[in-house]
Amino acid sequence: MSRVLVLNGVNLGRLGARQPDVYGVVTFAELAELCRRTGAQLGLEVEVRQTDDEPELIGWLHAAADARTPVVLNPAAWSHYSYALRDACALLTAPLVEVHISNIHAREEFRRHSVISAVATGVVAGLGVDGYVLALRHLAQRLSSPA
């Protein structure tokens, strides 16, 4: 069974309570369970984490790079300005799928660009928590296909 990390950045632990008109009513606990359940159905061992501490997230990415672990990442607000996070993502040797619950391209001007996207294998934005499901399906397909 292939291992996949689903990493979530700042404020995502507040899902369900934070701007439900933008981010929906699914709580972080429900999102984590959705990811684990989806992973199990796809033959993936999924570990879901969230932090409001940027250095902690960077440390997780370094460990994923060292272990060649695929990552689904919602960098949240750090998407738009964290070059340190972007550089940590660039170290990854396994696939990285960037996920955004909202459509960042239809939001405020400062949210419309992600510094992470250029080093991601793919990007899913604006599909709510279904974006995580799609990212996991993509990774399962990639991991099961011959190189």
**Catalytic-residue membership of 23:** yes
8 assigned ligand-binding residue: no
How far apart (Å, rounded) are the C-alpha atoms in residues 27 and 15?
A: 5
Q: Let me know: does 131 contact 106? Beta carbons within 8 Å.
A: no
Reduce the DSSP state of residue 2 to 3 states and report it: strand
74 assigned ligand-binding residue: yes
In the set 23, 83, 113, 138, the catalytic residue is 23
According to DSSP, the β-strands at 122-125 and 96-100 are parallel
In the set 62, 81, 83, 100, the catalytic residue is 100
80 assigned ligand-binding residue: yes
111 assigned ligand-binding residue: yes
Binding positions for substrate: 74, 80, 87, 101-102, 111
Q: Which residues are catalytic?
A: 23, 100
Binding positions: 74, 80, 87, 101-102, 111
